Amino acid sequence: MFSGFPPETEQYFLDLRFHNHITWFHETHERYLRDVQQHFYEFIEDMLPALTEIDPQMEQRPYKVLARIRRDTRFTKDKTPYRDHLWIWFHRAGESREDSLGYWFEYGVSSLSWGLGSWGECKPMMELFRREIEAHPARVSGIISSCNLPQRHLVAFGDTWKRLEVPPGVPDHLRCWYTAKRIGIEQTRPDWEAVTSRRILQLVREDYQTLSPIYKLLIGMSDEAQSDKQERKRT
């Protein structure tokens, strides 16, 4: 059972920041498994019942949703091999990461965040989402409003299509949603003091549940996009 991330988790990340090389990591691998991976796995396992209520198709294998601590340095100037943080990406089983919609949680030396979003731009899903906004702006607005995002300190973020023409029927408060390249909604006041106790699990779970109406709306768009894709293949 998850009881919080102990001080040893942060200390391992801090030590790794200053000893970021393969030899040190292999020498301290048992420490990584005990002080880091085990606690992330416990967090995942205790969070899954709430997530499978939102979507029964959620991936349930911890190693499939926890990021690798080893970085992919092939396409970056920063060649340090390991991260000083880890993230969890709760998404549907069998989906590629680039095309997935999901909930995330990230924790490390200087990072604590969680929320809902799409990993990539998910263009087919976003196109259907824009059509839904055009056709049923009141429905979309009602779903977003029902989540009371400001009350929970949840804020939408992300790049927008600068040259995308917004139809006149789209209300002003939906324009940023209409022009979004991808969906991202983040907790802007993460409680650092809660990290070392089970309370962090409760806070994240409550935000995930708060965001579930938006998740269900968007996952419906994703399902429809996949159905359209399969239909085009058959024809």
The answer to whether residue 69 scores a pLDDT higher than 70 is yes
User: What is the tally of structural domains in the chain?
Assistant: 1
Report percent pLDDT > 90 for the chain: 86
């909930």: which residue's tokens? Answer: 103
Q: CB count, 10 Å around CB of 58?
A: 19
The reply to whether 1 falls in a domain is no
- Residue 206 neighbours by CB under 8 Å, 6+ apart: 152
- Cβ(60)–Cβ(52) under 8 Å? yes
The domain that holds 228 is classified in CATH as 3.30.930.20
pLDDT tens across 25-60, in order? Answer: 999 999 999 999 999 999 999 999 999 999 999 999
pLDDT tens across 135-186, in order? Answer: 999 999 999 999 999 999 999 998 999 999 999 999 999 999 999 999 999 9
d(CA 7, CA 177): 39
| Intra-chain end-to-end CA distance of the chain, in Å | 50
The reply to whether 139 falls in a domain is yes
Question: What is the residue range of 95's domain?
Answer: 7-234
Tokens coding 75: 């396409």
Q: What are phi and psi of 27, to 5 degrees?
A: -70, -25
Q: What is the mean pLDDT of residues 71-97?
A: 91
pLDDT of residue 235: 66
